[in-house]
Amino acid sequence: MFLKRLRLTLEMIKFEHSVFALPFALTGALLAFRESGYTVTGAWWLAWEIVLWIVVAMVGARSAAMAFNRLVDAEIDARNPRTKSRHIPAGLLSRSFGWGFTAAASAVFFYASWRLNTLCFRLAPVALAVILGYSFTKRFTHFSHLVLGFALGMAPAAAWIAVRGTLDPRILLLTAAVMFWTAGFDIIYSCQDYEFDRDLQLYSVPRWVGIPRALLIARALHVLMIVCLLLLVYELQLGALSLAGIAAVAGLLVYEHGIVKANDLSRVNAAFFTMNGWVSVLFFVFWAADVLLIHQHI
């Protein structure tokens, strides 16, 4: 029975979508290793131990945030035709099990943060407050998309701190890039709920400015993402592979915006899930290749 409920919970929180933020966190870690001058022979096992706990912390934090979101939004989800079949509104999972899972995932996050270093552990409550607090923002601000973006954007900065024990302002360019990217695709996704948000007086950019203008704002945010990535390449003196990765990301984003129209939202799920999964994975592949194959500092 417990295993069945655990499986349903993992389905509920879309566990497989951890791929969205995790590659950016791993990129932040690789860049921090590069700046630290790690060598394969001198610090290989230490590097892999840090990466392991970064992954555990990321999965724990995201799992807690998603489960918390489903709990907080259960009544809203029950009234929305698009979300009423989710596990808690549909009665497939109890609230008590959801709260227990949230607490357990939060504990995993705190433990992993403690295993990384003192600063990570001290900042863990702040990070968890941000990612849990996002769930309430659609009730009072149209900028909830940026809050979600910041929640994901903390990942590369947190990974940098996990490796180096301090925060370098340059890595905040990657935080900003992830924030703009996430906010952009979340605006696209929320276009599906324009009428529902309007009827329930929930806050979102589409409800604020309408779907056509919302899609233009999403495009502008994705342009800002590319600008931030280019600035990071310059600041960290990265190479051609990193630039190629940015070009690949830009191409995918252009395609993503091309398949979503203000009068045709039928392909929003393809844009949201498929394209953005490829964005994060390809970004990591190109940037990891740049760091590992070209600069040879790990």
Full residue range of the structural domain in which residue 83 is found: 2-295
Q: Measured between alpha carbons, how far is 286 from 248 in angstroms, rounded to an integer? A: 9
Mean pLDDT along residues 69-89: 86
Contact 58, 21 (CB under 8 A): yes
Torsions phi, psi for 102 (to 5 deg): -60, -45
222-264 residue pLDDT tens:
999 999 999 999 999 999 999 999 999 999 999 999 988 888 8
Reduced to 3 states (helix: H, G, I; strand: E, B; else coil), residue 261 is strand
Q: Alpha-carbon distance 106 to 87, whole Å?
A: 20
211: pLDDT strictly greater than 60: yes
Best CA proximity match to 184, nearest among 157, 155, 216: 216
Mean residue pLDDT across the chain: 88
Average pLDDT over residues 154-171: 95
How many whole angstroms separate alpha carbon 282 and alpha carbon 56? 22
Contact 21, 62 (CB under 8 A): yes
Is the CB of residue 187 less than 8 Å from the CB of residue 221?
yes
Q: Structural domain tally of the chain?
A: 1
- pLDDT value at position 261? 87
| CATH code of the domain in which 139 resides | 1.10.357.140
What pairs with residue 82 in β-bridges?
A: none
Neighbours of 184 (CB within 10 A): 28
What pLDDT is attached to residue 274?
Answer: 76
DSSP 92: S
Name the band, by pLDDT with cuts 50, 70 and 90, for residue 268. Answer: confident
Tokens matching residue 59: 């999965």
CA distance 196 to 237: 47
- How far apart CA 30 and CA 25 sit, in angstroms, is 9
Mean pLDDT (whole number) for 274-281: 85
Task: Tell me the pLDDT band of 298, cut-offs 50, 70 and 90.
Answer: very low
